[in-house]
């Protein structure tokens, strides 16, 4: 069913340019704040750049629209509302279903490393602001690559509705899960047992499907970015609290 389009202040390609500029400035902000902080953001900024360049190469002037950098179907306030509510819900479900164990450990180790790199920051409030920025950088990169570039390829080149749905709701979420699996491998988290990492992959697969549905519902990539940013922020705040009390 066709949806009514809303007028926008900026077209999609301008919005994409703004996001690219903001992301680049945030990365530079980490750079002038210390080498340790910069190192944590580098992996994600590379992921983001690859997604943008790939989209420009494949879709050229339509890249902004194809990546869904738009709110032409739903107002930005609604997009943010959906993102915050779903992000809080996903973080809460994960924390309670895991009993606050493996999922907290999953984010505590990188957060602890991050906090050590941020030891020169003036106070905890400033450190939390940095964690919020970092949460956005990671969420923006992962969503632009998966719900943005990979999803746009599926929408553009699927030969039927069946292959489209399989790509959007099976293949892309699976790629999203495997990205996290390789991250866990790099910090030794997968050494704790096969059942746990299978469960982690399945959970993040579901997370990827939820983000995909949210984008299809609102027609905007800002929704999964908001969900992912809130989700990351909540988990990292929990980890900061654990580190602060020495648990």
Find the length of the chain.
Answer: 247
pLDDT of 166 > 70? The answer is yes
**Residue 6 forms part of a structural domain:** no
pLDDT at 145: 96
Lowest mean pLDDT among 11-15, 36-40, 215-219, 242-246: 242-246
Task: For residue range 87-134, list pLDDT tens digits in order.
Answer: 888 877 776 665 555 555 555 555 655 665 555 555 667 777 778 888
**Residue 232 forms part of a structural domain:** yes
In the chain, the N- to C-terminal Cα span, in Å, equals: 52
How does residue 1 score in pLDDT terms, banded at 50, 70 and 90? very low
- How many distinct structural domains can be found in the chain? 1
Answer yes or no: are the C-beta atoms of 38 and 131 closer than 8 Å: no
**Residue 3 forms part of a structural domain:** no
pLDDT of 175 > 60? The answer is yes
pLDDT of 225 > 80? The answer is yes
Task: For residue range 31-61, list pLDDT tens digits in order.
Answer: 776 666 676 778 889 999 999 999 999 999 9
Q: Which conformational region is residue 202 in: left (phi greater than 0), alpha (psi within -120 to 50 degrees), or beta?
A: alpha
Question: Which of 18, 24, 230 lies closest to 135, judged by CA?
Answer: 230
pLDDT at 101: 52
pLDDT at 195: 65
Q: Cβ atoms within 10 A of the Cβ of 111, count?
A: 22
Crossing angle of helices 172-186/194-218, nearest 10°?
140
- Domain of residue 55 covers 12-245
> Which pair of tokens denotes residue 31?
């750079």
**Residue 190 forms part of a structural domain:** yes
Mean pLDDT of the chain, nearest integer = 81
**Residue 83 forms part of a structural domain:** yes
pLDDT at 54: 96
**Residue 194 forms part of a structural domain:** yes
pLDDT of 246 > 60? The answer is no
**Residue 197 forms part of a structural domain:** yes
The alpha carbon dihedral of 74, 76, 77, 81 has a sign of positive
Answer yes or no: are the C-beta atoms of 239 and 178 closer than 8 Å: no
Task: For residue range 131-146, list pLDDT tens digits in order.
Answer: 888 889 999 999 999 9
3 state SS of 205: helix
**Residue 7 forms part of a structural domain:** no
pTM: 0.88
Task: For residue range 53-86, list pLDDT tens digits in order.
Answer: 999 999 999 999 999 999 888 888 888 888 888 8
């Amino acid at each position: 069913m066709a949806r009514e389009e809303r007028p926008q202040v900026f077209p999609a390609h301008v919005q994409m340019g703004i996001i690219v500029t903001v992301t680049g400035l945030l990365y530079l902000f980490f750079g002038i704040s210390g080498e340790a902080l910069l190192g944590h953001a580098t992996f994600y900024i590379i992921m983001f750049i690859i997604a943008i360049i790939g989209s420009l190469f494949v879709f050229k002037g339509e890249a902004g629209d194809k990546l869904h950098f738009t709110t032409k179907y739903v107002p930005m306030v609604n997009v943010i509302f959906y993102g915050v509510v779903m992000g809080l819900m996903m973080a809460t479900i994960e924390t309670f279903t895991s009993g606050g164990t493996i999922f907290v450990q999953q984010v505590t180790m990188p957060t602890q490393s991050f906090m050590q790199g941020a030891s020169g920051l003036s106070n905890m409030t400033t450190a939390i602001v940095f964690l919020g920025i970092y949460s956005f950088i990671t969420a923006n990169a992962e969503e632009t690559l998966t719900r943005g570039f990979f999803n746009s390829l599926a929408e553009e080149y699927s030969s039927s509705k069946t292959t489209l749905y399989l790509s959007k709701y099976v293949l892309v979420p699976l790629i999203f899960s495997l990205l996290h699996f390789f991250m866990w491998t790099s910090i030794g988290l997968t050494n704790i047992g096969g059942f746990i990492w299978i469960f982690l992959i399945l959970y993040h697969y579901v997370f990827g499907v939820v983000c995909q549905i949210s984008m299809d519902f609102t027609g905007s990539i800002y929704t999964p970015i908001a969900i992912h940013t809130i989700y990351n922020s909540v988990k990292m705040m929990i980890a900061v609290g654990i580190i602060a009390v020495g648990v």
